[in-house]
Amino acid sequence: MNFESVLHQARAEGRDLLNEVEAKQLLSQAGVPVVETLLATTADQAKRLAGEIGYPVVVKVVSADISHKSDVGGVKVGLANAEAVGEAYEAILANSRQAVPDAVITGVAVQGMAVEGTEIIVGMVRDPQFGPVMMFGLGGIFVELLKDVSFRVLPLTERDAQQMVNDIKGRAILDGVRGQTAVDKAAICKLILNVGVFIEQHPEIQELDMNPVFVYADGAVAVDARIVLSQA
Amino acid sequence: MSVHSLDPVFHPRAVAVVGVSSNPNPTGMGSFYASLLEAGFADRGGLYPVNPKVNEINGARCYPTLMDTPDPVDHVISQVPAGFVPELVDQCIAKKVRSIHFFTAGFSETGDQEMAVVERQMIEKLRDAGIRAIGPNCMGLYVPGSKLAFMGGFPMESGNVFLLSQSGANAGEVVRDLTNRGVRFSKVVSYGNGADLRAHDFLDYAAQDEESAVVAAYIEGVQDGRKFFEALQRCARVKPVIVLKGGRTRSGSQAAHSHTGSLAGSIEIFDAVCRQTGALRAETMDELQDLIVAVSTNIRQVSGRGVALFAGGGGGFAVLSADAIDREGLTVPRMPQSAVDEMREYIPVAGSSVNNPIDAFPPSEYLDDMLRLIATAEGMDMVFMSPLIDRSRWQSPNGKDKNSSSDSQSEAKKVTNLIAGQMKHLQDDTGTPVIGVIRGGGMARMMGVDPDDFLEATYRQGIASFPSVSRAARTVNQLLEWREYRQGLPDLS
């Protein structure tokens, strides 16, 4: 699966939104660490993929018509064995069909459970004046309530990435407060720079969102990712 | 060295003012002919008023049309109503002018689609003929070296500040206010709607202009965002660039749209662009002016955040000043005990403080020692100082001080110059930057020092001064932050 084939398929299906599995695979190929996420279209396949990834796993509905997956009962977490995965698969499909009857359901995503880390978000929006602009912030309430985010216009230099990380008001959280260890800022910078290059290479990307990314004392990993294409 | 393609715009050999008013009053907006006369342009090159309804202005011949003026005419200032512009554009092409400045308004800024089309068409026509346009809806050029001015009363002395502004009145205000503070300009351009020449064109010019060491910009809407970003990046690499963005709020951006037809855009992203490119961001006209002063004076040499405050004004003023310094991101460190002990040898304990802030006046024979002590004390990265120091020392020999004649005014100027010289001397002597603070109103009157004179006298010594402690502290902090986020870019200090 490369960018061109994903683009082609999305265009053929009349979609602007890449599904989570597609988005993560493309990002992974671009050097961005993501939680391994694979697509299953049958319960048996879901069980097999869960075994490959390793338990516990998360299972989520994949549908361009359902954006708030947990609201419709489309997400099951902490599944510890194949039986639980099989039940979750059927329940998710039933819940989704009931909540959004005419939704086109691509399948379900089977995803490893990431160890919880400090939540950050990394995204890209297209500014009408400056073009692609990268965004960085702390996740959760920091971004929702306090709008504590930083921006840089693409293309990015290493200086830009470092400054983005240090520009936010809550930067002390990254440096470790109340006895918590500092997170791996270099890993955040590398992730931001790799996303920047990925976007530069693919002008068809209108919007990109990784929320959350977990960052640890060593390394970082994107738990969820969303890519919107520009209209064909 | 190659000549920049915009260089001729700033150095016209002859200027025609088309649609000139018959009343040569240089004070109002749009009295370009009178302003150019006052600036002495006629001594430098041809200056031709054009108006078919006027025969002569102040004894000078007024030409019925542009075509009747002598050759060459390099620059045309258009004051004709919008409806006459298409005809003037044709004449400019026939006359082979190099640039045209449209004071004329009534185009895209009105929001009228039809007028926006007319604007675009006339610009295309001019471009095809190789003619550059400034505006429409703007004041154009103030270039003292070329004796060009768009308002009366501008100094004809050249300086090193390049100012570009979408607003003519704001450009005029910056020029007038900073002139009072001793700043002089290399080139000022008000470009309004920016239908042809835009911020990025002027930034590119300013970056390579050897006469300009500092670049300041008032911008309402960014046109060609990518080009602007790249031009700002190039310019800010090599020179301090200060950007004031109008339309930061919703109300402000609505006003900007009807003023220059600008779409204001996201302010968070604009601020990020300033940090990314290494430009300084101003939020108000005061900040813009203070930062221009800062980057062209000794504030460039400040290396830390510790302020020794020696500003007089009493205990309450000292407390509020310390608050202001702290609030703006600087600190007021305690005076080391050894320095306190030394000052206590000649300053009585009662009614004074020799800690920091210093609210005390030594006998005049100790003043120099005390200033040196303060400036060299550990932790003091700069001295904030007001002119309220030992008035007796500066009084005229004949002891007349309450004289209200112009004598006392020139006496006050002399005293102000002496104080400025003393501040410079202290700085040179100790290597610690000395920054002036002067309060306006009653306090300044009581001290017998004119605030404008003080600001100008210190600036001419390379010393920055500000009308309040908080503005001084804020500006120093902004400069220090600027230096921090410029890390990784060429060092400009």
Residues of A in contact with B229 (CB under 8 A): 130, 153
A159 contacts B489? CB cut-off 8 A: yes
Rounded to an integer, what distance in angstroms lies between the CA atom of residue B34 and that of residue B58?
Answer: 10
Give the burial string for B434-467 (b: 16+ CB within 10 Å, else e): bbbbbbeeebbeebbbbbbbbbbbbbebbbbbbb
Is A172 inside any structural domain? yes
pLDDT at B373: 95
Are residue A94 and residue A136 in the same domain, yes or no? no
A163 contacts B276? CB cut-off 8 A: yes
Q: Does residue B404 have a pLDDT over 60?
A: no
Instruction: Quickly count: other Cβ atoms within 10 Å of residue A177's Cβ.
Output: 10
Q: How many independent structural domains does chain A possess?
A: 2
Instruction: List, for residues B112-167, the tens digit of each pLDDT value.
Output: 999 999 999 999 999 999 999 999 999 999 999 999 999 999 999 999 999 999 99
Count, residues in chain B: 493
Q: Does residue B26 have a pLDDT over 90?
A: no
Instruction: List, for residues B283-310, the tens digit of each pLDDT value.
Output: 999 999 999 999 999 999 999 999 999 9
> What was the ipTM of the complex prediction?
0.89
B159-296 and B301-485: same fold? yes
Instruction: Name which of B268, B270, B274, B487 to mutate to probe chain A: the one with the most chain A Cβ atoms within 10 A of its Cβ.
Output: B268
A128 contacts B265? CB cut-off 8 A: yes
Confidence of residue A232 (pLDDT cuts 50, 70, 90): confident
Q: For residues B396 and A168, which has the higher predicted lDDT (pLDDT)?
A: A168
Is A2 inside any structural domain? no
Instruction: Quickly count: other Cβ atoms within 10 Å of residue B410's Cβ.
Output: 10
Are residue A219 and residue A130 in the same domain, yes or no? yes
In chain B, % of residues over pLDDT 70? 91
Whether the link from the prior residue into B136 is cis, omega within 30° of 0, is yes
Is A148 inside any structural domain? yes
Q: How far is B278 from chain A (nearest CA, A)?
A: 11
Q: H helices within B40-83, ranges in order?
A: 41-44
Are residue A217 and residue A182 in the same domain, yes or no? yes
Are residue A208 and residue A156 in the same domain, yes or no? yes
B167, B95 contact by CB (below 8 A): no
Is A85 inside any structural domain? yes
Q: How far is B413 from chain A (nearest CA, A)?
A: 46
Which residue of B lies nearest to A125 if distances are taken between CA atoms? B269
Instruction: List, for residues B190-218, the tens digit of each pLDDT value.
Output: 999 999 999 999 999 999 999 999 999 99
- CATH (domain of A222): 3.30.470.20
Least reliable range by pLDDT among B217-226, B316-325, B408-417: B408-417
Question: Phi and psi of A159, rounded to 5°?
Answer: -60, -45
Are residue A80 and residue A123 in the same domain, yes or no? no
Q: Does residue B38 have a pLDDT over 70?
A: yes
pLDDT at B295: 96
Domain boundary among A113, A148, A181: A113
Instruction: List, for residues B216-239, the tens digit of each pLDDT value.
Output: 999 988 889 999 999 999 999 999
B489 touches chain A (CB under 8 A): yes
Are residue A152 and residue A222 in the same domain, yes or no? yes
pLDDT at B262: 61
Mean pLDDT of B467-492: 95
Mean pLDDT of A165-182: 89
Are residue A105 and residue A166 in the same domain, yes or no? no
Q: Does residue B449 have a pLDDT over 90?
A: no
Question: Of all helices (H) and strands (E), which one includes residue B229?
Answer: helix B225-238
A163 touches chain B (CB under 8 A): yes
B319 touches chain A (CB under 8 A): no
Q: Does residue B481 have a pLDDT over 60?
A: yes
Are residue A107 and residue A123 in the same domain, yes or no? no
Q: Does residue B393 have a pLDDT over 60?
A: no
Is A1 inside any structural domain? no
pLDDT at B477: 98
Rounded to an integer, what distance in angstroms lies between the CA atom of residue B247 and that of residue B261?
Answer: 12
Residue type, A194: N
B1-140+152-156 placed in CATH 2.60.120.20: no
Domain boundary among A62, A79, A113: A113
Are residue A78 and residue A100 in the same domain, yes or no? yes
Q: For residues B96 and A128, which has the higher predicted lDDT (pLDDT)?
A: B96
Mean pLDDT of B7-31: 83
Superfamily of segment(s) B301-485: Succinyl-CoA synthetase domains (3.40.50.261)
Which residue of B lies nearest to A129 if distances are taken between CA atoms? B225
Which pair of tokens denotes residue B460? 């001419």
Rounded to an integer, what distance in angstroms lies between the CA atom of residue B396 and that of residue A153?
Answer: 60
DSSP string covering A112-131? EPPPP-EEEEEEEEEETTTE
- Measure CB to CB from residue A163 to each of B222, B225, B275 and give the nearest one: B275
Nearest one of A24, A21, A88, A26 to A55, comparing CA atoms: A88
Q: Does residue B403 have a pLDDT over 70?
A: no
Rounded to an integer, what distance in angstroms lies between the CA atom of residue B192 and that of residue B262?
Answer: 10
Which pair of tokens denotes residue A123? 């995204």
Mean pLDDT of chain A: 93
Are residue A151 and residue A192 in the same domain, yes or no? yes
Mean pLDDT of chain B: 90
Question: Phi and psi of B132, rounded to 5°?
Answer: -90, 145
B273 contacts A167? CB cut-off 8 A: no
Is A20 inside any structural domain? no
- Measure CB to CB from residue B229 to each of A130, A151, A159 and give the nearest one: A130
Residue B403: strand, helix, or coil: coil
Question: Of all helices (H) and strands (E), which one includes residue A9?
Answer: helix A3-12
Domain boundary among A113, A146, A176: A113
Strands (E), B175-231: 185-190, 214-219
Residue type, B166: Q
Q: Does residue B260 have a pLDDT over 70?
A: no
Q: What CATH number does domain B159-296 carry, 3.30.1490.20, 3.30.365.10, 1.10.443.10, 3.40.50.261?
A: 3.40.50.261
Is A143 inside any structural domain? yes
Contacts of B291 (CB under 8 A, 6+ apart): B216, B242, B280, B282, B475, B478, B479
pLDDT at B401: 47
Are residue A70 and residue A93 in the same domain, yes or no? yes
Mean pLDDT of B25-36: 76
Confidence of residue A26 (pLDDT cuts 50, 70, 90): very high
Confidence of residue A115 (pLDDT cuts 50, 70, 90): very high
Residues of B in contact with A133 (CB under 8 A): 269, 272
Question: Phi and psi of A123, rounded to 5°?
Answer: -150, 175
Instruction: List, for residues A206-223, the tens digit of each pLDDT value.
Output: 999 999 999 999 999 999
Is A87 inside any structural domain? yes
- Please report, for residues B44, B247, B351, B387, B420, the alpha-carbon distance to residue B434 in angstroms, rounded to integers and kept in the order given: 41, 35, 26, 12, 10
A137, A148 contact by CB (below 8 A): yes
Are residue A104 and residue A137 in the same domain, yes or no? no
Region label for B111, one of left (φ > 0), alpha (ψ between -120 and 50) or beta (otherwise): left
Domain ranges of chain B: 1-140+152-156, 159-296, 301-485
Confidence of residue B402 (pLDDT cuts 50, 70, 90): very low
B190, B162 contact by CB (below 8 A): no
First to last CA, chain A: 20
Rounded to an integer, what distance in angstroms lies between the CA atom of residue B178 and that of residue B434?
Answer: 20
Indicate the DSSP class of residue B353.
B
Contacts of A205 (CB under 8 A, 6+ apart): A124, A198, A199, A227, A228, A229, A230
Indicate the DSSP class of residue B158.
-
Q: Does residue B478 have a pLDDT over 70?
A: yes
Instruction: List, for residues B346-391, the tens digit of each pLDDT value.
Output: 888 777 788 899 988 788 888 889 999 999 999 999 999 987 655 5
pLDDT at B27: 56
B488 contacts A128? CB cut-off 8 A: no
* Domain that includes residue A147, residue range: 118-229
